[in-house]
């Protein structure tokens, strides 16, 4: 398994990190979608396990969660899914989910099992650095990297604290708000990335609201190590639910398009 | 944060990073002001002249005759707006004013907290948005109209099951994007720290009054306090006055819906497992994978899959006991209090009455039981009419 550190230092450009809800719209289609994204040039995958109450997510990802849950996705099947992806290609995977799913599975076992399946890091959407001690030790014991969020309203002192507990990458949230596509890029991103880069050596990836190739390019120019594209990609699934072929070609085309501009 | 916001293993503040500064700001404002003389004086002024406090403690003689012991009602149904909810919204809105916030938002289930928020929005001239599930909007249409009359904007929440938990989800999402100028008035003793503490504090006026009224009217402590538990704010509000009086039994009554064994209920403490929702660790109704379950109850105000963290601690320590009341018994209680006392209780509060009715023959005739009558039942008349049409 390739570590983030290796990957980010090998790349001389920003990594392209698409986000998918595992099992959206169903297990098999989701598997093909993610494989297509890998073939189209994804450098890292950010994968979410669907939850009934995703408070950090806007309507697009909420709907994806509902589709996946209705099609029978759960933590156990997500584990199988990740194993299948890793068999297809040994690509770094960041997992993103809500704390209750981990808690019910059993925190230590969750981390151990998902690490064994090939996951690099786990980001808990509803856990801030303040409660991180509940997961830091089990994460470390399992050999997982930690990822925490920094937002435009995070104070400098707190940024340093967050950086000090992050071993994977800092997930920089580009806007005040939940996930969702946005027409224009927040003008706070550049400053935020610049500040973080001065504060820490930990890789910095940017997500939330990145919807166009130009946004990705701007974020990369600002010095980000990676660009995470979520709602935009999920919306391509939503827009083509009647045709798997169309989903796959839309995803493939979009990822290739962004990638070509990042290089 | 200055504090961890823990009640034993429960509580905490499990929220996305973006909400931390807002919670820190709220926590700081609360601890800076809640004992401050000016703030307390101003809040008490509103409690008295706007809300109509103190509320009576009323010995319901004809209801008592039916059950065979003394039942006193703490008349929160007489608080302006028709429920205890205003105690909390006045406190939080005043806090918002002290913090210089001009916009307030709230979630609501039954519409009582939404209405209480809309009222203080009008009172303080604050722009008000209320998040409410589509299903609840339908079953509590009168409250929706009242909120609008008070100038609030009611935002219909379509996601999930269209009830309280989804309204909280969307209110939290909205707050995430508007943290700088918006104060979120949370409606019960749940959610992330510091809300469970803040809401309990502003509801503790119920217990403080009740204790004094007991001394005046009974000349001693009561034997038992009974309150319904949705998120847990009216219950904690009255429990707090008696928490150190170990001989006073504290009973919380949850929504048993069609029966706990049917799965159609909202009896979180009785039937839930520990989990994390809306920023707090608490008992939670969830499936084996940790997905939060839908709830069912005749009363919209108790329809919530989680419960206040302090109640979970009180349950584990044994200081309070928790039971459920089923819909049919709740409707019986609603009818009995109406018939015997001329008081229409909220369906939420009727859960407490229903449990009390089940104690017939189990308590001695000189036992003194206080029921926190958290709200009035006018809002529920059309629902009761559907379940129990009147024969002419
Ligand atoms: C009259 C009344 N009682 C009780 C409740 C339940 O809330 P809590 O458990 O916070 O008191 C509600 C909630 O809407 C209510 O309207």
Shortest Cα–Cα distance, B77 to chain A (Å): 32
> What percentage of chain B carries pLDDT values higher than 90?
93
- Report the chain A residue with the minimal C-alpha distance to residue B11: A131
CA distance B67 to B264: 28
Shortest Cα–Cα distance, A39 to chain B (Å): 32
Structure confidence at residue A53 (pLDDT): 96
Residue pair B89/B117 in contact (Cβ under 8 Å)? The answer is yes
Does residue B1 belong to the interface with chain A, where contact is any CB pair within 8 Å? yes
**Helix locations, chain B, DSSP H:** 20-33, 37-46, 61-67, 85-99, 112-124, 134-139, 141-149, 164-177, 195-217, 233-239, 268-271, 309-317, 327-341, 347-357, 381-387
Pocket of ligand 1 (CB under 6 A): B 83, 109-110, 112-113, 188, 228-235, 301-302, 346, 348-349, 374-375
- Across the interface, whether the CB atoms of B177 and A53 are under 8 A apart is answered no
Shortest Cα–Cα distance, B97 to chain A (Å): 22
The vertex-A66 CA angle with A63 and A68, nearest 5°, equals 110
List the beta bridge partners of residue A124.
Answer: A97
Alpha-carbon distance values, A178 to A56, B16, B107 (Å): 5, 9, 18
Distance B300 CA to ligand 1 centre (A): 9
Whether the CA torsion B257, B261, B262, B266 is positive or negative: it is: positive
CA distance B234 to B374: 6
- Across the interface, whether the CB atoms of A99 and B20 are under 8 A apart is answered no
Residue pair A235/A210 in contact (Cβ under 8 Å)? The answer is no
Ligand 1, atom nearest to B235 Cα: 11
- Across the interface, whether the CB atoms of B172 and A75 are under 8 A apart is answered no
Give contacts of B20 with chain A, Cβ < 8 Å.
128, 130, 154, 158
Block residue for tokens 């919306």: A235
Does residue B159 belong to the interface with chain A, where contact is any CB pair within 8 Å? yes
| Torsion of the alpha carbons at B101, B107, B108 and B109, rounded to the nearest 10 | -170
Shortest Cα–Cα distance, A172 to chain B (Å): 10
Structure confidence at residue B163 (pLDDT): 82
> What percentage of chain B carries pLDDT values higher than 70?
100
Structure confidence at residue A15 (pLDDT): 98
Which residues of B are catalytic, by number? 85, 107, 374
- Across the interface, whether the CB atoms of B278 and A55 are under 8 A apart is answered yes
Instruction: Give backbone dihedrals phi and psi of B13, rounded to 5 degrees, phi first.
Output: -140, 80
In terms of DSSP bridges, do strands A15-21 and A45-48 run parallel, antiparallel, or are they unpaired?
parallel
- Report the chain B residue with the minimal C-alpha distance to residue A151: B18
Instruction: Give backbone dihedrals phi and psi of A149, rounded to 5 degrees, phi first.
Output: -95, 150
Ligand 1, atom nearest to B189 Cα: 10
- Report the chain A residue with the minimal C-alpha distance to residue B9: A134
pLDDT tens, chain A, 263 aa long: 788 988 999 999 999 999 999 999 999 999 999 999 999 999 999 999 999 999 999 999 999 999 999 999 999 999 999 999 999 999 999 999 999 999 999 999 999 999 999 999 999 999 999 989 899 999 999 999 999 999 999 999 999 999 999 999 999 998 888 888 888 888 888 999 999 999 999 999 999 989 999 999 999 999 999 999 999 999 999 999 999 999 999 999 999 999 999 98
Residue pair A1/A118 in contact (Cβ under 8 Å)? The answer is yes
**Substitution target from B18, B19, B165, B178 for chain A, most A beta carbons within 10 A:** B18
Check pLDDT > 80 for residue B161: no
CA distance B340 to B56: 18
| Section B125-154 average pLDDT | 94
Residue pair B366/B89 in contact (Cβ under 8 Å)? The answer is no
CA distance B66 to B86: 31
Check pLDDT > 70 for residue B168: yes
A156: number of Cβ within 10 Å: 9
Ligand 1, atom nearest to B112 Cα: 16
Where does the pLDDT of residue B138 fall: very low under 50, low under 70, confident under 90, or very high at 90 and above? confident
Q: Which of A99, A105, A151 sits opposite B14 (nearest CB)?
A: A99
List the beta bridge partners of residue B157.
Answer: B133
Of the candidates B153, B147, B25, B4, which has an alpha carbon nearest to the alpha carbon of residue B95?
A: B25
- Across the interface, whether the CB atoms of B276 and A126 are under 8 A apart is answered yes
- Residue ID of nearest Cα to ligand 1 atom 7: B230
Residue pair B255/B230 in contact (Cβ under 8 Å)? The answer is yes
**Helix locations, A13-170, DSSP H:** 27-40, 59-70, 75-88, 99-105, 107-117, 133-142, 156-164
Check pLDDT > 80 for residue B208: yes
Structure confidence at residue B140 (pLDDT): 86
Give contacts of B177 with chain A, Cβ < 8 Å.
175-178
Q: What is the ipTM of this complex?
A: 0.95
The vertex-A122 CA angle with A117 and B169, nearest 5°, equals 125
User: Read out DSSP for A157-218?
Assistant: HHHHHHHHT-SS-EEEE-SSS-S---SS--TTHHHHHHHHHHH-SS-EEEESS--SHHHHHH
Residue pair B224/B369 in contact (Cβ under 8 Å)? The answer is yes
- Across the interface, whether the CB atoms of B173 and A51 are under 8 A apart is answered no
HSE-CB at A169 with a 13 A cutoff on CA atoms is 32
Please count the residues of chain B.
392
Shortest Cα–Cα distance, B385 to chain A (Å): 33
Which residues lie below 8 Å from residue A161, measured CB to CB, with a gap of 6+?
Answer: A129
In the structure encoding, which two tokens stand for residue A206, read together? 């940017």
Distance B358 CA to ligand 1 centre (A): 21
pLDDT in tens, A39-78: 999 999 999 999 999 999 999 999 999 999 999 999 999 9
In the structure encoding, which two tokens stand for residue B308, read together? 């206040």
Of the candidates B172, B175, B136, B169, which has an alpha carbon nearest to the alpha carbon of residue B154?
A: B136
Instruction: Give backbone dihedrals phi and psi of B288, rounded to 5 degrees, phi first.
Output: -70, -15
Hey, is A179 helix, strand or coil? coil
Residues of A with CB under 8 A from a CB of B: 51-59, 62, 69, 74-76, 98-105, 125-131, 148-151, 153-155, 158, 162, 173, 175-178
Ligand 1, atom nearest to B108 Cα: 14
Hey, is B203 helix, strand or coil? helix
Structure confidence at residue B392 (pLDDT): 62
List the beta bridge partners of residue B345.
Answer: B376
Distance B121 CA to ligand 1 centre (A): 20
- Residue ID of nearest Cα to ligand 1 atom 1: B375
Which residues lie below 8 Å from residue A135, measured CB to CB, with a gap of 6+?
Answer: A102, A107, A111, A122, A124, A127, A146
- Across the interface, whether the CB atoms of A126 and B284 are under 8 A apart is answered no
In the structure encoding, which two tokens stand for residue B357, read together? 């009715």
- Across the interface, whether the CB atoms of A126 and B291 are under 8 A apart is answered no
| Torsion of the alpha carbons at B162, B168, B169 and B172, rounded to the nearest 10 | 150
The vertex-B304 CA angle with B185 and B179, nearest 5°, equals 30
Residue A225 C-alpha from the chain's centroid: 13
Block residue for tokens 């015997």: B340
- Across the interface, whether the CB atoms of A175 and B177 are under 8 A apart is answered yes
Give contacts of A162 with chain B, Cβ < 8 Å.
17
Q: Classify domain A4-247 at the CATH class level.
A: alpha beta
Structure confidence at residue B160 (pLDDT): 76
Structural domain spans, chain A: 4-247
Where does the pLDDT of residue B378 fall: very low under 50, low under 70, confident under 90, or very high at 90 and above? very high
Where does the pLDDT of residue B287 fall: very low under 50, low under 70, confident under 90, or very high at 90 and above? very high
Shortest Cα–Cα distance, A125 to chain B (Å): 6
Does residue B172 belong to the interface with chain A, where contact is any CB pair within 8 Å? yes
Number of A–B residue contacts, CB under 8 Å: 114
DSSP 8-state symbol, A91: -
| Section B160-187 average pLDDT | 92
Check pLDDT > 90 for residue B205: yes
Structure confidence at residue B159 (pLDDT): 79
B253: number of Cβ within 10 Å: 30
pLDDT in tens, B11-53: 999 999 999 999 999 999 999 999 999 999 999 999 999 999 9
| Torsion of the alpha carbons at B278, B281, B286 and B288, rounded to the nearest 10 | 130
Which residues lie below 8 Å from residue A44, measured CB to CB, with a gap of 6+?
Answer: A4, A7, A15, A16, A17, A91, A92, A93, A94, A226
- Across the interface, whether the CB atoms of A52 and B160 are under 8 A apart is answered yes
Task: Determine the longest span between alpha carbons in chain B, in angstroms.
Answer: 61
CA distance A197 to A223: 8
Hey, is A41 helix, strand or coil? coil
Where does the pLDDT of residue B162 fall: very low under 50, low under 70, confident under 90, or very high at 90 and above? confident
pLDDT in tens, B77-119: 999 999 999 999 999 999 999 999 999 999 998 899 999 999 9
Q: Among B85, B283, B324, which is best to mutate for testing ligand 1, by the most ligand atoms less than 8 A from CB? A: B85
């Amino acid at each position: 398994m390739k570590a983030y550190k290796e990957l980010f230092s090998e790349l001389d450009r920003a990594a392209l990190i698409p986000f998918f809800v595992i099992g959206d719209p169903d297990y098999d289609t989701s598997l093909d979608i993610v494989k297509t994204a890998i073939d189209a040039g994804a450098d890292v995958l950010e994968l979410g396990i669907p939850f009934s109450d995703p408070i950090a997510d806007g309507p697009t990802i909420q709907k994806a969660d509902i589709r996946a849950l209705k099609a029978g996705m759960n933590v156990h099947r997500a584990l199988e899914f990740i194993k299948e992806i890793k068999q297809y290609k040994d690509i770094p995977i960041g997992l993103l989910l809500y704390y209750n799913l981990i808690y019910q599975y059993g925190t230590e076992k969750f981390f151990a099992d998902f690490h064994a399946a090939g996951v690099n890091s786990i980001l808990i959407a509803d856990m801030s650095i303040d409660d991180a001690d509940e997961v830091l030790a089990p994460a470390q014991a399992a050999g997982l990297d930690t990822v925490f969020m920094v937002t435009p309203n995070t104070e400098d002192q707190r940024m340093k604290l967050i950086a000090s507990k992050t071993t994977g990458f800092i997930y920089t949230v580009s806007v005040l708000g939940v996930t969702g596509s946005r027409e224009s890029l927040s003008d706070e991103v550049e400053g935020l990335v610049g500040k973080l880069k001065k504060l820490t050596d930990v890789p910095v990836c940017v997500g939330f609201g990145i919807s166009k190739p130009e946004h990705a390019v701007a974020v990369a120019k600002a010095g980000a190590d990676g660009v995470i594209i979520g709602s935009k990609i999920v919306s391509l699934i939503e827009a083509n639910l009647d045709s798997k072929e169309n989903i796959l070609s839309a995803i493939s085309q979009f990822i290739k398009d962004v990638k070509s501009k990042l290089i | 944060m200055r504090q961890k916001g823990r009640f034993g293993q429960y509580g905490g503040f499990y929220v996305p990073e973006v909400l931390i500064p807002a919670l820190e700001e709220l926590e700081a404002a609360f601890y800076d002001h809640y004992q401050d003389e000016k703030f307390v004086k101003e809040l008490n002024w509103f409690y008295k002249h706007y809300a109509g406090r103190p509320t009576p403690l009323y010995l319901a003689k004809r209801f008592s005759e039916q059950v065979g012991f003394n039942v006193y009602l703490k008349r929160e149904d007489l608080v302006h707006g028709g429920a205890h909810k205003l105690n909390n919204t006045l406190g939080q809105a005043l806090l918002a004013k002290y913090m210089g916030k001009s916009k307030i938002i709230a979630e609501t289930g039954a519409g009582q907290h939404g209405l209480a928020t809309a009222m203080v929005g009008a009172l303080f001239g604050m722009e008000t948005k209320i998040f409410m599930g589509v299903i609840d909007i339908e079953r509590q249409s009168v409250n929706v109209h009242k909120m609008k009359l008070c100038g609030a904007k009611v935002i219909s929440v379509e996601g999930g099951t269209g009830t309280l938990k989804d309204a909280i989800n969307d209110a939290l999402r909205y707050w995430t994007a508007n943290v700088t100028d918006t104060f979120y008035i949370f409606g019960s003793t749940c959610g992330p720290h510091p809300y469970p503490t803040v809401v309990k504090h502003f509801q503790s006026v119920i217990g403080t009054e009740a204790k004094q009224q007991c001394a005046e009217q009974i000349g001693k402590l009561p034997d038992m306090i009974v309150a319904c538990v949705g998120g847990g704010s009216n219950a904690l509000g009255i429990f707090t006055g008696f928490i150190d009086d170990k001989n006073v039994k504290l009973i919380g009554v949850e929504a048993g819906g069609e029966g706990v064994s049917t799965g159609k209920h909202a009896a979180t403490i009785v039937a839930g497992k520990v989990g994390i929702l809306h920023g707090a660790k608490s008992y939670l109704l969830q499936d084996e994978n940790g997905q939060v379950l839908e709830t069912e109850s005749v009363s919209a105000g108790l329809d919530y899959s989680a419960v206040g963290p302090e109640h979970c601690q009180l349950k584990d320590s044994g200081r309070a006991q928790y039971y459920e009341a089923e819909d049919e018994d709740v409707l019986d209680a609603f009818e009995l209090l109406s018939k015997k006392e001329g008081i229409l209780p909220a369906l939420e509060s009727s859960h407490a009455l229903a449990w009390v009715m089940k104690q017939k023959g189990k308590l001695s005739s000189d036992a003194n039981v206080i029921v926190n009558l958290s709200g009035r039942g006018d809002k529920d008349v059309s629902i009761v009419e559907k379940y129990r049409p009147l024969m002419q």
